[in-house]
Amino acid sequence: MQPILIVEDEPIIRSALQRLLERNGYLVRVAGSVQEALDNNDLSALSLIISDLRLPGEPGTDMIKHAQGTPVLIMTSYASLRSAVDSMKMGAVDYIAKPFDHDEMLQAVKRIINDHQKGPETSPQQAAPEQGPSPRTGNEIIGKCPPMLELFKRISKVAPTDTTVLILGESGTGKELVARALHRESLRTSAPLISVNCAAIPETLIESELFGHEKGAFTGATSARNGLVEAADGGTLFLDEIGELPLEAQARLLRVLQEGEIRRVGSVHSQKVDVRLIAATHRDLKGLAQRGEFREDLYYRLNVMQLELPALRDRGSDVIEIAEKLLQRTCNKLGKDKHLFSPQSLQAIAGYHWPGNVRELENAVERAVILAENGIISHDLLDIDYEDVSDNSSVTGITNFDREIPLGSEVAAPQTAENHEELSLEDYFQHFVLEHQESMTETELAQKLGISRKCLWERRQRLGIPRKKSSSQSA
């Protein structure tokens, strides 16, 4: 097996990522800068290079020109998202935003290495069977119930086309997995898939982020910038939570669908783009359109092919198969020996209504693995009440999680510099917040971590880190 090279100057992240990959069977080498990577490694003998965008000395994008054919995955914070997209135009195979969750990183690494080993000559059509979902789709999306089999059939039919797809489903059902499957099995698979969560970008920035801007278009626009739609040219644009898109941005998006062109903020000129659009939402877009909260013409443009993901409670025996898969993956992620569900816990999993869907199940399993002492996942560790499905108060602490930082170890006191190397990614978040929250405002903390204030608040809730109130901070 060829090794993976991590180029990251932050010891905490470098060490945590190295341990994560090694626990999952990969050989790993590390470097703190581009120069160190070049001095100590034959880049052509690597299977993958994972490089931070911002490094001392040469930027991480310089690894692309030195890579000698080895794929490069760029890591970046949200604040540098557009620069990461620019790096894909320079030849990076993909980018991943920090802080990322373990499964997201492992899936990206596996996908990139597999694609690189297959080589450019293998098309998605050659790799897929004639009937049913492709093996790659089936590996990520588990399901044998009739609604999921119908979903797989529709994916295989619509993926090779350029038809706009609208994915519907409750939060936590796996809409982004469907979008990735559509892109992988499309004729655009060698081009970028640009994923954008419309709810995560401030309303004042969404148009600039999506469509780009000219120099001087607004305060702070010191240079012209490409937008994410332009970055997806030739590939696929996935707009998650499209129901949160402001009306002004909706009008610009409609132009992309109708005319195949964009106009940057502050520009009077349009330019052509070739983008396949996939959108997703948990909201009733038709109802929003009827109330004037979503453009009706855009709704009909989006709703060419509709794919609906069933709620976990409607998937029958799938829930047990998914739970078993999540248990195995969680044990690998946490470096635990094999765990098993007790008969009562399996009954609870099958009988509970899972209002947070797969995301809630995933976090319940992870919490249970952390707390289990004898390798057996008992019913009480899942913290669900399957006998009274109308009362979900026992699981309010684990619903509606996003997947950027998974539920991990218990909240720890600030670590000293001597044991930074032993911190995981979630420990790093806890350490940073606990160490700096008395001297920084919430806005400053969020900016330093490269996330929004909303994400910062959600992660505080998830990891049980209360906000410190001081005389210098408002309540």
Burial class (CB in 10 A: 0-12, 13-18, 19+), 24: middle
Residue 426 sits at φ, ψ, to 5 deg, of -70, -35
H or E, element range at 6 = strand 4-7
Is there a domain that residue 125 lies in? no
Asked if residues 96 and 74 have their Cβ atoms less than 8 Å apart, the reply is yes
- CATH number, position 299: 3.40.50.300
Is there a domain that residue 472 lies in? no
Please give the angle made by the CA atoms of 319, 324 and 330, to the nearest 5 degrees.
Answer: 120
Q: Which residues, 6 or more positions from 213, have their beta carbon under 8 angstroms from its beta carbon?
A: 221, 224, 225, 227, 264, 265, 266, 267
Domains contained in the chain, number: 4
Is there a domain that residue 423 lies in? yes
Measured distance CA(309)–CA(417) in Å, rounded: 46
279 beta partners: 166, 239
DSSP string covering 165-221:
EEEE--TTS-HHHHHHHHHHTSTTTTS-EEEEETTTS-TTTHHHHHH-B-TTSSTT-
Q: Among the three residues 264, 288, 308, which one is the final residue of a domain in this structure?
A: 308
Q: Among the three residues 88, 118, 148, which one is the final residue of a domain in this structure?
A: 118
Pair (302, 316) in one structural domain: no
Contacts 24+ apart (CB under 8 A), 339-344: 339/369, 339/372, 339/375, 339/376, 339/377, 340/375, 340/376, 340/377, 341/376, 341/377, 342/376, 342/377, 342/378, 342/379, 344/378, 344/379
Pair (218, 360) in one structural domain: no
Is there a domain that residue 471 lies in? no
Measured distance CA(34)–CA(141) in Å, rounded: 37
Nearest CA among 301, 290, 402, 305 for reference residue 357: 402
**SS percent in the chain: helix, strand, coil, step 5:** 45, 10, 40
Pair (274, 322) in one structural domain: no
- CATH number, position 64: 3.40.50.2300
**Residue 179 confidence (pLDDT):** 95
**Block means of pLDDT (10 residues each) for the chain, length 475 residues?**
89 88 91 93 92 89 88 74 66 78 82 74 34 42 88 92 95 92 92 88 84 77 80 92 92 91 84 94 93 93 93 91 92 90 89 91 93 90 64 32 33 38 58 81 74 71 65 41
Pair (390, 299) in one structural domain: no
Is there a domain that residue 128 lies in? no
Is there a domain that residue 406 lies in? no
Asked if residues 75 and 54 have their Cβ atoms less than 8 Å apart, the reply is no
Pair (113, 148) in one structural domain: no
Is there a domain that residue 454 lies in? yes
Pair (371, 341) in one structural domain: yes
Measured distance CA(88)–CA(64) in Å, rounded: 9
- CATH number, position 343: 1.10.8.60
Pair (182, 329) in one structural domain: no
pTM of the full structure: 0.57
Domain that holds residue 343: 312-395
Pair (263, 177) in one structural domain: yes
Measured distance CA(194)–CA(38) in Å, rounded: 30
Pair (300, 154) in one structural domain: yes
pLDDT digits (tens, 9 = 90+) for 198-239: 888 888 788 888 888 788 777 766 777 888 898 899 999 999
Is there a domain that residue 354 lies in? yes
Pair (349, 381) in one structural domain: yes
Q: Among the three residues 278, 308, 338, which one is the final residue of a domain in this structure?
A: 308
Q: Which residues, 6 or more positions from 204, have their beta carbon under 8 angstroms from its beta carbon?
A: none
Pair (142, 243) in one structural domain: yes
Pair (214, 259) in one structural domain: yes
Measured distance CA(436)–CA(364) in Å, rounded: 30
Return the residue matching tokens 């100057």: 9
**Residue 413 confidence (pLDDT):** 35
Give the count of beta carbons closer than 10 Å to the beta carbon of residue 282. Answer: 17
